[in-house]
Amino acid sequence: MSTGIAHEINNPLAIINESAGFMKEVIETPEMSAFSRKGDLLLGIEKIEKSVKRARRITHQLLGHVKKQDSAFSEVNLEMLTKETLDLLKKDIEDKEISVELKMESNAKLLWSDPYQIRQVLINLLSNAIHALSKKGTITILTTIPDKFSEIDGLNRLHKNGESSACLEWSEESFLSLEIRDNGIGIPKENLGKIFDPFFTTKSFDQGTGLGLFVVHKIISGLGGQIEVESTVGKGTSFFIKLPRHLENKT
């Protein structure tokens, strides 16, 4: 259903975008050179184009969330997947001269999961971290295998709206912990309880859709894991993810 709705939205968006481009071409013709409000008209067209881009981002994220249902589980090397994701974001990282620290324990790199969904999580969280940083900031990515007691403590902590989920049966190295940390602007305390809500964003209208963290939360929950966040304004933000490794399912 979501796929059909997204496609129905994308079709008129394409027409709007094409028409806006045509209007820009018309404005630049000699016949329009004497038009006194040419600048205002161009500004209006740019607003249309920005709104179209934002709407497209929303539908793409919706489609991405739906597409996961068709993807299959396989062995995921989290270190390799993280490096590939960082390479996709290389230009943004270099433009801000951001330092990236990758600290992955040797026994905390593999899990049996959905690589497409894990990639979506990494892209969203790393993009948010980049956006939160000014020049020469730092992003730290860590993975560990938590011990039994820290696992239980972590997975019983409230993550949203008072919800918690506890797993009472544990095996050695059954979960993998992933932390993505930045030393950026941080998230105000009053917003922490809202960040996983759909369409909540503190970014400007043309930069954020408010769906990124919502999708991340849905993906992690769907994979049987949990995500939580800690943040201090002016010091940075850390996202903590715990995912079941399911290595016993590997064939």
Ordered by start, the domain boundaries in the chain are 2-69, 73-249
E strand spans, the chain: 74-77, 99-104, 110-113, 138-144, 175-182, 226-232, 236-244
Q: What is the pLDDT of residues 1-46, one digit of tens each?
A: 455 556 567 778 888 888 888 888 888 888 888 888 888 888 889 8
Please state, in angstroms and rounded to a whole number, the distance separating the CA atoms of residues 75 and 12.
Answer: 40
Name the percent of the chain lying above pLDDT 90.
34
How confident is residue 116, by pLDDT bands cut at 50, 70 and 90?
Answer: confident
pLDDT at 142: 96
Query: What is the overall mean pLDDT for the chain?
Result: 80
Better-predicted residue by pLDDT, 30 or 58:
30
* Average pLDDT estimate for 224-235: 94
Strands 74-77 and 138-144: unpaired
Q: What pLDDT, on the 0 to 100 scale, is given for residue 58?
A: 66
b/e per residue, 79-108, with b = 16+ CB within 10 A? Answer: bebbeebbeebeeebeeeebebeeebeeeb
Domain 73-249 part of CATH 3.40.50.880 = no
Residue 156 has pLDDT above 50, yes or no: no
Q: Residue 4 has what pLDDT?
A: 57
- Of the two residues 169 and 209, the one the predictor is more confident about is 209
